[in-house]
Amino acid sequence: MSQLPNRDQIEQKYTWNAESVFTTPQAWEDEIKSILADLPGFKKYQDKLAEGPATVLQALKAMEGLMIRMYRAYVYAGFSYSVDTTNQAAAAMQGKAAGVYGQTLATVSFVTPELLAIGQETLEKWSSQEPGLAVYKQFFNNMFREQEHTRSAEVEEILGMLADPFDGPSTTASLLTNADFKFAPAADQDGNSLEVSEGTLWKILATSDRTARETAWTNYMDQHLAYKNTLASNLATSIKQSVFRSRVRRYNNVLEMSLYNNNIPTSVFHNLLETFKKQLPVWHKYFEIRKRILGVNPLQPYDMWAPLTSNRAKIPFDKAVDMIAEGLLPLGKDYVGTLRNGCLEERWVDVYPNKGKRTGAFSWGAPGTHPFIMMSYTDEIFSLSTLAHELGHSMHSYLTWENQPLVYSDYSLFAAEVASNFNQAMVRAHLLQTNTDKDFQISLIEEAMANFYRYFFIMPTLARFELETHTRVEQGQPLTADALINLMADLFSEGFGSKVNVDRERVGITWAYFQHLFTDYYVYAYATGIAGAHALAGRILRDEPNSVQDYLGFLKAGSSDYPLNVLKRAGVDLSTPQPVEEAFAVMAGYVDRLDQLTK
Q: What residues act catalytically?
A: 390
Dist. CA 196–CA 4, nearest whole Å: 10
Of 439, 452, 385, 455, the C-alpha closest to 594 is: 439
Dist. CA 462–CA 467, nearest whole Å: 9
Q: What CA dihedral angle connects 64, 69, 70 and 72, to 10 degrees?
A: 120
As a three-state string, the secondary structure of 119-152 is: CHHHHHHHHHHCHHHHHHHHHHHHHHHCHHHCCC
Dist. CA 116–CA 147, nearest whole Å: 7
CA angle 150, 155, 156 (to 5 degrees): 55
Dist. CA 2–CA 529, nearest whole Å: 36
Q: Name the β-bridge partners of 500.
A: 299
Dist. CA 166–CA 506, nearest whole Å: 29
Is the CB of residue 470 less than 8 Å from the CB of residue 255? Answer: yes
- CB proximity list for 41: less than 8 A, separation 6 or greater: none
Q: Where are the beta strands (DSSP E) in 217-371?
A: 349-350, 362-364
Dist. CA 282–CA 287, nearest whole Å: 9
Q: For the stretch 475-501, what's the b/e string if a residue is b when 16 or more beta carbons lie within 10 angstroms of its beta carbon?
A: eeeebebebbbebbbbbbbebbeebbe
Is the CB of residue 108 less than 8 Å from the CB of residue 68? Answer: no
Is the CB of residue 150 less than 8 Å from the CB of residue 112? Answer: yes
Q: Is 356 exposed, middle or buried (0-12, 13-18, 19+ CB in 10 A)?
A: buried
- Please tell me whether residue 465 adopts helix, strand or coil conformation: helix
Dist. CA 560–CA 566, nearest whole Å: 9
For the chain, the straight-line distance linking the first and the last C-alpha, in angstroms and rounded, comes to: 38
Q: Fill in the DSSP letter of residue 2.
A: B
Tell me how crowded residue 21 is: count the other CB atoms within 10 A of its CB: 23
- CB proximity list for 507: less than 8 A, separation 6 or greater: 301, 488, 489, 492
Dist. CA 179–CA 443, nearest whole Å: 33
Pairing of strands 186-187, 193-194: antiparallel
- CB proximity list for 596: less than 8 A, separation 6 or greater: none
C-alpha separations of 288 from 93, 175, 595 in Å:
49, 38, 10
